[in-house]
Amino acid sequence: MAIITTAFALSAFSTSSPVVNVVQDDPRKKNIISDNSNNSNINDPSLGHHITTTSHALFDTTGDILDPTSQVTSGKRIAIDPMKYLRTFSYGRVSTNSAGDTSTTIREFTLIASDDKIMEVSPGVFYNVWTFNGTIPGPTIRATEGDLVRIHFVNNGSKPHSIHFHGIHSSEMDGVFDMVSPGGQFVYEFYAEPFGVFPYHCHMQPLEEHISHGLYGVYIVDPKNKPRPTADEMVMVMNGYDTDSDKENNFYTVNGIPYYYMHHPIQIEKGRLVRVYLVNMLEFDPINNFHLHANMYQLYRSGTSLTPDEYTDMVTMSQGERGILEFTYKYPGPYMFHAHKTEFAEKGWMGTFLVKDENRSMNESNSVKSITNTLQPLVGRGSD
């Protein structure tokens, strides 16, 4: 049995870091994750690593066939779709565990890290992106408070990676001390608590390298007892790309591609509640922010309360900060939203909402009818 000891040798945690063993010939490797993606490495039994730790329990997969939360693209070039990402929520593969009178909803997800993909960030500018499931940001994981969340993590990259979820969970599920070597797997399992909006991201060192290349996504926990009102819901992740490796960003985006929503406005309806789950994952710059034009929004910081913290048109966040923004447009038309840090806006972090009046034609015909109805008796009388 080949045991590769992969101690987490971080200077910041040099005292009593747990040692992680990757057990290559574990008989349970028959339980390796397989799926219908075209990434052959994942189905290679020789890569069916399992991780044990000397300081806590063994975490293993169920052996079930798992559904990737999004398609892994073939080849090294990736194309991401911010419009699709915007309103896509992954609720996982759902099962129920009943014990007596109580039953727990289990949500299982597969996240596959890779670090060899090339993305055209801007015309003619290519950048080595590191991705979860082939996208930046990674898929949006969504659960309800109290659900059991099980993340089957596969490191299909060439460097050690992990997933660190924000939220409440045990130490061994924190994705910090247990690095997953290339070809390795790990199963993170925790109950979804508290409700709110959280980032997840790789936590390997050097952290700024792993985050700035794109290994992050959003994790939403819905309140169990009092769901938020129905709304047009969307996710926005603020990020940047340091394409010349000088530790300063050259491009800034929301949802992965500079200026995307300027060229492809987000259509929303007049009078309908819009809810944005906003997360800042920008590396290198200490702050980022979100300004909405011609409107104001209710801001729920971290999304952990049903009572808004602020009514504003501007929120500033440091890295990892997030919140829920709720607003409704009164008037149709195009409206900008952007970082109110001019440099970021002018290097790609701006977009537009196109507010449409869905009832406009009906309203117009109704008003015409109503005007006609009002006028007709007069017209009739006048003609007497």
Find the Cα–Cα–Cα–Cα dihedral 298, 304, 309, 314, rounded to 10°. -50
In the bound state with Cu ion, the residue whose beta carbon lies nearer, of 202 and 350, is 202
CA geometry: angle 360, 365, 366, nearest 5 deg: 95
**Cβ distance to Cu ion smaller for residue 164 or 338:** 164
Residue sitting closest to Cu ion (CB):
202
Please state the closest distance from residue 90 (CB atom) to Cu ion, in A. Answer: 20
Q: Letter for the amino acid at 141?
A: I
Nearest approach in angstroms of CB 215 to Cu ion is 5
**Minimum CB distance to Cu ion, residue 161 (Å):** 4
CA distances to 101, 194, 196, 320 from 303, rounded to whole Å, are 30, 10, 4, 13
> How far apart are alpha carbons 259 and 236 in whole angstroms?
13
Please report, as residue ranges, which positions from 148 to 177 form the binding site for Cu ion (by CB under 5 A).
161
Q: Which residue has the tokens 């870091």?
A: 17
Q: Smallest distance from the beta carbon of 186 to Cu ion, in angstroms?
A: 13
Contact 336, 265 (CB under 8 A): no
CA dihedral 160, 147, 214, 116 (to 10 degrees): 50
**Options 82-90, 165-173, 201-209, 285-293: segment touching Cu ion (CB under 5 A):** 201-209
Closest to Cu ion by CB, 138 or 167: 138
The pattern of x and - marking residues 208 through 237 that bind Cu ion according to CB under 5 A reads: --x----x----------------------
Find tokens 């290339």 and name the residue.
182
Alpha carbons 237 and 219: distance in angstroms, whole number: 11
Question: Shortest approach of Cu ion to residue 200 CB, angstroms?
Answer: 12
How many residues contact Cu ion, by CB under 5 A?
Answer: 5
237, β-bridge pairs:
279
207, 48 in Cβ contact below 8 A? no
Q: Any idea what DSSP says for residue 211? A: H
Question: What would the x/- binding string for Cu ion be over residues 131 to 150, using CB under 5 A?
Answer: --------------------
Residue closer to Cu ion by CB (options 217, 303) is: 217
DSSP 239-304: EEE-TTSSSS-SEEEETTSTTHHHHSPEEEETT--EEEEEEE---SSS-EEEEETT--EEEEETT-
- Residue choice 42, 149, 154, 202 for contact with Cu ion (CB under 5 A): 202
Beta-carbon contacts of 83 under 8 Å, excluding residues fewer than 6 positions away, are 260, 264, 266
With CB under 5 A as the contact rule, which of the stretches 49-57, 181-189, 200-208, 264-272 interacts with Cu ion? Answer: 200-208
* Nearest CA-CA partner of 181 in 208, 200, 203, 162: 162
If one asks whether residue 117 binds Cu ion (CB under 5 A), the answer comes out as no
Q: How far is the CB of 202 from Cu ion (least distance, A)?
A: 3
The single residue among 86, 121, 204, 345 that binds Cu ion, judged by CB under 5 A, is 204
Least separation in angstroms between CB 191 and Cu ion: 25
Report, in Å, the least distance between residue 208 CB and Cu ion: 11
- Measured from the CB atom, the residue of 216 and 337 that comes closer to Cu ion is 216
For the bound state, the minimum distance from the C-beta of residue 242 to Cu ion, rounded and expressed in Å, comes to: 16
Q: Which residues bind Cu ion (CB under 5 A)?
A: 161, 202, 204, 210, 215
